[in-house]
Structure 1
């Protein structure tokens, strides 16, 4: 089967094009680092598979996600390459294109963001570019789909074209390239030998590691040293990798001078004018916090909560009544009736009522991502992050964690330094994911009804503050970080398309629905069974059930935090599977018909101070099972995985203790 690889710089629209050309859909965003591993999809015309590689600026990787692309080109043999470039940043993007042309496989160039280039007064001549590079060039606007049909129709023809390869003259280095090529001639399964030789001489770590045991690396080093000596004698750049880059840059300048017209380029774009305000040294952070407050105001006060109330009425009314009538007509036993109504409907339904709030939140987050504001937030946070031992790039995984901690942990792959990457991975679970929202919405709706947005925002801020404080602690005593350089690409602002927003919101939200139909459903059945049975058999009183016994073991430990009941202990224990199950457990334990009934029970069992302490504990304590699994996968260490769980539980206990006992001292109990 034919396979085609999408390669390009970060944020050039590769994944948007991937979604247009294939039957798959992958997460997209208007910021660098969205794709952190290769994605594979079937082409819509049945012409083979398309591989979406992480964005890279060069074949010389700086981070794990960039290493994925370099390793793929070394180990695989794609039928052809599709190099996506940003027409408004062509000179910078062509640095990778030249390396891909030297790779020697059939290739085409997707000239994306033609609309952005035009808006900036930049004119790129596709025909001239095609003639100079010797490969097909297709103008694109990937996010609207313009030009994608041309690429799809052209793909089957590309492998028939002779392998597109340019052979730049590297002058004095040519002898070293030829000599290195002879060293690798005996190694089978390699791409073009000249390309491999160039990568070795440029000290590409992926290629060096791949060939370290197959060729004489000492000989390669001697060849490189001799060449550098010749360069010094000629008064040229002394470092061979720098010389190779300088030759490529000179070639790129010639290409751009012939194919790009900047005579009408506008001195100040809309993006620059907006950045003057949104990334202002003093105004930027307050604007971001105000935007976050508005986000929660819309989600919980203006739109989300009224819709949740309507859904709650539907589930507790017509849906529950219909199920009860159907069970009565079917002659269901009391056990079956209790399992379905008190277990499944109460448990799953108690979580589903929060779907409107979660989808509204995801819709606004999708807007932030696609507008280009996401990268600006990381820039705003850079000085603060640097003060605690990281850089602004680590803040992007933190923001992704507001949706779900699992993809956030995976997105940490884009961080270059291993210690920074590990530190970010360990701290991401402190970010308040959407699974915690039902808990916040439940308690804030009971005790802080007129200030729901502010109270829930405080949970997000608390998570960020704890992450920053622990980051400083860990980076000082546990993981002493190396100094790092923060480089972030600021994409142009753009108004997100409605279709993209809806699709992005659905892709984020369907994970919540999937959990409702699997993990939460299974958890609800298990919780109901433990509440329905006890040492005395089935149908026991709730206080004599296995669930009460298990929760009772935790109650004394939780008493200093303000919620030392078996009900709270049981809810927190089951919340390890998924944080949404905390609400499911309470719905089953308190045996209420609707959300209003559950809120009444919560109001009777907690005070405002106890509720806030409980919310803080849910925010900070052990990551959910899925997050623990992905931390183990990304760190390849059970020791660090256990540490992530252990410190989170200890932190949650300490903060809840301070909140409750401090509140009592202040007379807030």
Structure 2
């Protein structure tokens, strides 16, 4: 079977095309870097594999995810390339296409978003473009699949195509430099890689290629050649760098091609995307509009849809389902120990979290809608000035937004950030974003203590997470970002009405992780918590206050007392929250022996005051990341030191902020 690399700029519809050609589904988002690892799918016609590589603007990588592509081109074996380009942004997209053509593998170009191009008065003759580039150019609509079957046929025969590498004339100086490069790097040493392509990537400043070349010849000789050629180019022109010279040659070539195949109609009509952007990215209105979107999301999640659905599910689990399971266990003649384990441990623990599934899925649905509509990229743009003031840039806000769903993919999305230190800071800050796992804890407490204001309370918690992240970014950037220049490049895709099928699949893709945790972490945690509550130094079936769970939780009670919740129950619940934040709710359901959510909330009103309850959920927002997030931080940073730091600083921050809130609240008479 053949292997085909799928390559293109961000937001050109690359992942949508991958989904259509392979019949599989990968997450589709509308910002740069949503595909941060290569993904492999089998073509529908079973002729080969399609490898979906991260969206990039150039083969010379700036960020960690972009380096995946250059590494793939150097170290992997593949038969051809599918290059998807945006018909409305051809001049920019073809820069990458030129680099791919210079590589010399057979290539098929998918011309996507022709509808957007027509709206902008751009008419393209793909036959002329195909003739100029000497490769197949196929007009497609990746979202709907139009033209994709024709592309499938072209891909199936790609192995038989004889593709000669594109050879542009880069001028006498650079061409002489390429000849000298050939002397330094003999063709037999490069493992069948195109030598001229390697030379051009080297002179362009591709660090992945440079690292590869350093294994083949002297680094000093390469440095000497690069400096010599760059100085000659600078002295003979107004160009400031060798990469800029290469870019200018490619741009001139692209202009000559488009002169032959592209027609632009004069139109006085302002594109719809531009008209909407004039409002949503406005300096005055941008951030308020983003906050209004968040507020609307929480109204849906809590007041309008989420809470009524969760109440109905709670009624079913605590009523009919529990009765059926109890009757079944009795009819099977099980012991009291097994009945208590199943009903008081598993059903109470797992069921206490499952009741919040409607709210979780509504939250994910809304986030998916914003992503697929094109608004998320605008949110990053709007936040750029604010992020810049704390030492980061707008792109750092994207992982934080993703962190609203789950901190794990949020941390992973930091790969799209070009600067290593900015990437590190973003990884450290993303766990401060209020993920969906914390939502059940919020829903439990705000329903018990702040029923009339639950939307505003949860909205405040999300904003508090953002504000504290910005504050910590300012502190960290002063320490870590000395002499580092920030780069902010974000694609603004056209606005689109999300397809229902894509929207539902994206929502499910996010939400299934929550359900999976209910069957793993939460199930296992519930069993362990119940066993610790059932057993004690005096044996089995002890009173809850004499259990091992009470003893363990009691160790933390004195430390938590200044925060307003110095009980063993709170200490035990917070300890189990390290597994997954949802387990806090499971713990409380088991500890308080609550038959349903209403009963648990009633019991909580006896154990907490409104002020201590608010302090508790603020602590839940800020204290240590969950186990999965900690593991991801370790993987992404490659550092045990920074992993421990992420835990310790979050715990200290949570304690200080919660202490201030509770003690100030007491002074004010709350």
Residue 221 of structure 1, CA deviation: 4.0
Matches within 5 A, 1:62-81: 62-81=62-81
Aligned equivalents of 1:229 and 1:476: distance in 2? 35
- Aligned residue in 1 for 2:197: 195
Q: Do the aligned partners of 2:438 and 2:620 also contact (CA within 8 Å) in 1? A: yes
Aligned equivalents of 1:235 and 1:566: distance in 2? 74
Residue 238 of structure 1, CA deviation: 6.5
Matches within 5 A, 1:129-148: 129-148=129-148
Aligned equivalents of 1:479 and 1:234: distance in 2? 36
| 2:65 counterpart SS class | helix
Aligned equivalents of 1:481 and 1:182: distance in 2? 37
| 2:395 is the alignment partner of 1:403 | no
Q: Do the aligned partners of 2:391 and 2:481 also contact (CA within 8 Å) in 1? A: no
Aligned residues: 668
- Aligned residue in 2 for 1:167: 167
- Aligned residue in 1 for 2:396: 394
- Aligned residue in 2 for 1:105: 105
- Aligned residue in 2 for 1:47: 47
Q: Do the aligned partners of 1:30 and 1:372 also contact (CA within 8 Å) in 2? A: yes
Q: Do the aligned partners of 2:31 and 2:490 also contact (CA within 8 Å) in 1? A: no
Deviation string, structure 1 residues 379-412 (Cα, Å, up to 9, x no partner): 1111111111111110011100000000000100
Over 3 Å counting, the alpha-carbon distance change for 1:233 and 1:478 in structure 2 is closer
Over 3 Å counting, the alpha-carbon distance change for 1:238 and 1:329 in structure 2 is closer
| 2:327 counterpart SS class | helix
Deviation string, structure 1 residues 349-393 (Cα, Å, up to 9, x no partner): 000000000100111111111111111111111111111111111
Matches within 5 A, 1:392-541: 392-480=394-482, 482-541=484-543
- Aligned residue in 1 for 2:38: 38
- Aligned residue in 1 for 2:116: 116
Residue 226 of structure 1, CA deviation: 4.6
Residue 454 of structure 1, CA deviation: 0.3
Residue 126 of structure 1, CA deviation: 1.4
| 1:24 counterpart SS class | coil
| 2:57 counterpart SS class | coil
Aligned equivalents of 2:579 and 2:338: distance in 1? 25
Q: Do the aligned partners of 2:421 and 2:480 also contact (CA within 8 Å) in 1? A: no
Aligned equivalents of 2:328 and 2:322: distance in 1? 10
Residue 481 of structure 1, CA deviation: 5.9
Aligned equivalents of 1:647 and 1:207: distance in 2? 38
Aligned equivalents of 2:139 and 2:541: distance in 1? 69
Aligned equivalents of 1:264 and 1:336: distance in 2? 77
Over 3 Å counting, the alpha-carbon distance change for 1:197 and 1:523 in structure 2 is same
Q: Which runs of 5+ in 1 are unaligned?
A: none
Residue 534 of structure 1, CA deviation: 0.8
Over 3 Å counting, the alpha-carbon distance change for 1:231 and 1:384 in structure 2 is closer
Quote the RMSD (CA, aligned, Å).
1.5
- Aligned residue in 1 for 2:373: 371
Deviation string, structure 1 residues 438-460 (Cα, Å, up to 9, x no partner): 00001011111111110000100
Residue 210 of structure 1, CA deviation: 1.0
Choose 600-609 or 355-364, whichever is displaced more.
600-609
Aligned equivalents of 2:338 and 2:507: distance in 1? 36
Residue 255 of structure 1, CA deviation: 1.1
Q: Do the aligned partners of 1:7 and 1:55 also contact (CA within 8 Å) in 2? A: yes
| 2:189 is the alignment partner of 1:179 | no
Deviation string, structure 1 residues 469-502 (Cα, Å, up to 9, x no partner): 1111111135536131322221111111111110
- Aligned residue in 2 for 1:207: 209
Aligned equivalents of 2:194 and 2:144: distance in 1? 36
Aligned equivalents of 2:180 and 2:102: distance in 1? 17
- Aligned residue in 1 for 2:564: 562
Over 3 Å counting, the alpha-carbon distance change for 1:663 and 1:404 in structure 2 is same
Aligned equivalents of 2:483 and 2:329: distance in 1? 62
- Aligned residue in 1 for 2:632: 630
Q: Do the aligned partners of 1:135 and 1:164 also contact (CA within 8 Å) in 2? A: no
Q: Do the aligned partners of 1:121 and 1:266 also contact (CA within 8 Å) in 2? A: no
Over 3 Å counting, the alpha-carbon distance change for 1:574 and 1:169 in structure 2 is same
Aligned equivalents of 1:565 and 1:93: distance in 2? 60
Aligned equivalents of 2:627 and 2:537: distance in 1? 29
Q: TM-score, normalised by structure 1?
A: 0.97
Choose 114-123 or 579-588, whichever is displaced more.
114-123
Choose 36-45 or 223-232, whichever is displaced more.
223-232
Q: Do the aligned partners of 2:32 and 2:416 also contact (CA within 8 Å) in 1? A: no
Aligned equivalents of 1:224 and 1:475: distance in 2? 33
Q: Do the aligned partners of 2:349 and 2:590 also contact (CA within 8 Å) in 1? A: yes
Choose 512-521 or 218-227, whichever is displaced more.
218-227
| 1:111 counterpart SS class | strand
Deviation string, structure 1 residues 113-155 (Cα, Å, up to 9, x no partner): 1221122221111111111111111111112222222222321
- Aligned residue in 2 for 1:296: 298
Over 3 Å counting, the alpha-carbon distance change for 1:226 and 1:605 in structure 2 is closer
Matches within 5 A, 1:273-292: 273-292=275-294
Q: Which runs of 5+ in 2 are unaligned?
A: none
Residue 202 of structure 1, CA deviation: 1.8
Aligned equivalents of 1:83 and 1:181: distance in 2? 28
Q: Do the aligned partners of 1:423 and 1:479 also contact (CA within 8 Å) in 2? A: no
Matches within 5 A, 1:237-386: 237=239, 239-265=241-267, 267-386=269-388
Residue 71 of structure 1, CA deviation: 1.0
| 2:188 counterpart SS class | coil
Over 3 Å counting, the alpha-carbon distance change for 1:357 and 1:391 in structure 2 is same
| 1:64 counterpart SS class | coil
Q: Do the aligned partners of 2:23 and 2:44 also contact (CA within 8 Å) in 1? A: yes
Over 3 Å counting, the alpha-carbon distance change for 1:309 and 1:235 in structure 2 is closer
Aligned equivalents of 2:25 and 2:483: distance in 1? 37
Residue 568 of structure 1, CA deviation: 0.6
Choose 168-177 or 441-450, whichever is displaced more.
168-177
Matches within 5 A, 1:632-647: 632-647=634-649
Residue 629 of structure 1, CA deviation: 0.3
Residue 77 of structure 1, CA deviation: 2.3
| 1:109 counterpart SS class | strand
Aligned equivalents of 1:130 and 1:313: distance in 2? 63
Q: Do the aligned partners of 1:56 and 1:66 also contact (CA within 8 Å) in 2? A: yes
Aligned equivalents of 1:215 and 1:225: distance in 2? 16
Aligned equivalents of 1:658 and 1:238: distance in 2? 53
Matches within 5 A, 1:588-599: 588-599=590-601
Choose 30-39 or 264-273, whichever is displaced more.
264-273
Aligned equivalents of 1:649 and 1:486: distance in 2? 31
Residue 23 of structure 1, CA deviation: 4.3
